[in-house]
Amino acid sequence: MKKKILLIISLCLIALGLAACGETDPTTMSYNGYSYDQLKSTCEGTVTSLLEMPDEQKEPYVVMKDMSDAERNTYIKSVAPSASEEDIAGILQQEIGRAHV
């Protein structure tokens, strides 16, 4: 009987210990050196700029969506023949980053 009571008390203490962990306010946390407000304004700015972007500027990204890297490389060279290999690599890297988001 003593073991059961001890077990029940132990379980209650464990439950209280886990339940006592408070939730941190996300607006007061640091996100790798950025504040909540900085990240929020950056996200809002990005969304606003994407919404205001003309369809002509969106078209290349929509076209490249389902292309392989080689197809994208060829497409970028056809659209921007003066683009250097570094420029093309940067564009492809941006596309890869968007695919993983």
Ranges of residues in the chain whose predicted pLDDT is under 50 = 100-101
Reported pTM: 0.44
Residue 16 dihedral angles phi and psi, to the nearest 5°: -65, -40
Return the SS3 of 32: coil
Residue found by looking up tokens 């093309």 in the block: 88
What does DSSP assign to residue 22? P
Distance between CA atoms of residues 49 and 33, nearest Å: 24
Q: What is the mean pLDDT of the chain?
A: 81
**Model pLDDT, residue 41:** 94
What does DSSP assign to residue 29? S
